[in-house]
Amino acid sequence: LIAVGNGTASRETDKLAAELINSQPDLKLTKVMVSEAGASVYSASEYASRELPDLDVSLRGAVSIARRLQDPLAELVKIDPRSIGVGQYQHDIAEAKLSRSLDAVVEDCVNGVGVDVNTASAPLLSRVSGVSGTLAENIVRHRDDNGPFRSRRQLKDVARLGPKAYEQCAGFLRIRDGDDPLDGSSVHPEAYPVVRRMAAETGGGVATLIGNTAVLRSLRPEKFVDDRFGVPTVTDILGELEKPGRDPRPAFKTAAFKEGVEKIGDLAPGMVLEGVVTNVAAFGAFVDVGVHQDGLVHVSAMSTSFVSDPREVVKPGDIVKVKVLSVDVDRKRISLTLRLDDEVTPDGRPAARRSGGGAPRPAGGERPRGDQRGGSRGGARGGQRGAQSGGQSGAQSGGQRGGQSRGQRGGGQGSAPVDGAMADALRRAGLLRD
């Protein structure tokens, strides 16, 4: 398995890896593009110099990229979350408040997935509830001096890990193939007696109960409730025993970038590409399509229905198919749409979608100004009704407010002619000549 960073010369490296794979079919190699956001921060960090002291900075970055493919969460915790790029207005928020929020999110993710205490690094352990940086170092030192942990009870032998810290962290620390099979699950040691009562009820041991879906679903949670654990907690325990130590993260997927599209100049309007969402802002989402420049899917091009918040449609890491609307090589701007049936117009905008019988909205969402606004309200409406006076009053008032004032300000002759009923009304009012 070859991990290719998506930074400088990534498409060239990807092409080289593809040629290598094709030349060695017996090896059954595969390649995956991996985000290297923040990899340079890790490679130059003090922790990286202690973890990989014999490697050059560039090689440390390469190791980090490969590790991200193996276990992204375990590697990303080694850097400050702000180094990854967390979205719009990142630098406008108070640094302390942003750090607290990001740390809380990372801690929730780590606790939700769980940590193998015998393989985890100190930075990963420090993100577990109840474990400080110093305590994480003590756990690693105890593991190095005494060998792998065989049970959660042995955590109490770690220096400065008291009863309260143990109570907080024990349920999130996993021990695979240990003395007690429950140590490899997310069941807290305080709830072990509940599980043993369940095993006694079924007439077997704890090991035979774990993973036995039929037996577990036959048990009624109400029967195992006591003064410490209610029905919701017992129900969660049964669910965990059914699939112990399961990883809540979805299946790993990567975007398949289009062959031959390696730089922004290779893009053309109308192309349909696969990409990965790198960031989501209030005005839309940025998508990496493999050309070293993220494209923008504006919020108006994300769905056929109204979208108030782009985060309701996509999130960072999603694999999406997009259509190229326009490409500006000089300004390095790529306009994309998630609506693959959009027709690309010469100006690079999607063709207007008409939901009713009214006039189509101007391209780009621009609001009519000047005589267009006044004429449409008065002149066009009056012309359609056949009442000349209404059309004149509407067109004159609108034209004078808009067209004449604009002409005086700009020194011109008013706005450009328009078509349809509005133009007829302006002609009758004497404000528009053929």
Rg value, the chain, Cα: 31
DSSP code per residue over 92-147: GS-HHHHHHHHHHHHHHHHHHH-EETTT--HHHHTTSTT--HHHHHHHHHHHHHH-
Pick from 316, 350, 384: which residue ends a domain?
Answer: 350
Q: Let me know if residue 171 belongs to a domain.
A: no
Establish if 208 belongs to a structural domain. Answer: no
Alpha-carbon distance of 276 to 253, in angstroms, equals: 10
Q: Whose structure tokens read 């025993």?
A: 241
Per-residue confidence (pLDDT) for residue 223, from 0 to 100: 94
- 269 and 345 inside one domain: yes
- Tokens at residue 201, please? 């009820």
Residue 194 resides in a domain: no
User: pLDDT at position 104, please?
Assistant: 93
Give the whole-angstrom CA distance, residue 37 versus residue 39.
Answer: 6
What pLDDT digit, counting tens, does each position of 295-349 carry?
999 999 999 999 999 999 999 889 999 999 999 999 999 999 999 998 887 665 6
**Does residue 330 share a domain with residue 294?**
yes
DSSP secondary structure code for residue 299 in this structure: G
d(CA 378, CA 319): 49
Nearest Cα to Cα of residue 218 among 232, 200, 198: 198
CB 380 within 8 A of CB 398: no
Domain final residue pick, 317, 350, 383: 350
State the Cα–Cα distance between residues 312 and 292, nearest whole angstrom.
26
Handedness of CA 113, 124, 277, 289 (dihedral sign): negative
Q: Pick the closest to residue 84 from 29, 135, 130, 38 (CA basis).
A: 38
Q: What is the CATH number of the domain that holds 341?
A: 2.40.50.140
Burial of 173 (0-12, 13-18, 19+ CB in 10 A): buried
| CA 164, chain centre distance (Å) | 35
Neighbouring-strand partners of residue 4? 33
Q: What is the pLDDT of residue 427?
A: 59
Return the sign of the alpha-carbon dihedral for residues 125, 130, 133, 136. negative
Nearest to 206 by CA among 220, 192, 186, 219: 192
Residue the block writes with tokens 């198919």: 321
Looking at the structure, tell me whether residues 346 and 303 fall in a common domain: yes
- Domain annotation covers residue 146: no
Do residues 269 and 336 share a domain? yes
Distances (CA, A) of 231 to 67, 98, 198, 316: 40, 37, 14, 36
Same domain, 323 and 386: no
Which H or E run includes 335?
Answer: strand 333-337
Cβ neighbours around 403 below 10 Å, total: 25
167 lies in a domain? no
Start-to-end CA distance of the chain, whole Å, equals 70
Taking every pair of Cα atoms in the chain, the longest distance, rounded to a whole number of angstroms, is 98
The reply to whether 268 falls in a domain is: yes
Tokens for 162?
């008291």
CA distance 335 to 352: 16
Q: What tokens does 276 get?
A: 């990965």
In a domain, 301, yes or no: yes
Token pair for 207: 């090991």
Q: Per the structure, how many domains does the chain have?
A: 2
Residues 337 and 386 occupy one common structural domain: no
Q: Which residues of 190-206 are buried (b: 16+ CB within 10 A; e: fewer)?
A: ebbebbeebbeeeeeeb
Tell me the residue range of the domain where 282 lies: 264-350
* Cα–Cα distance, 403 to 202 (Å, whole number): 86
Listed as ranges, residues in the chain with pLDDT below 70 are 85-89, 346-434
Q: Which of 350, 379, 410 is the last residue of a domain?
A: 350
Here the tokens at position 376 are 């449409």
Task: Provide φ and ψ at 36, rounded to 5°.
Answer: -110, 25
Q: Is residue 343 part of a domain?
A: yes
270 and 332 housed in the same domain: yes
What dihedral do alpha carbons 233, 234, 235, 236 form, nearest 10°?
Answer: 50
Determine the Cα–Cα distance for residues 174 and 172; give it in Å rounded to an integer.
6
Question: What pTM did the predictor assign?
Answer: 0.69
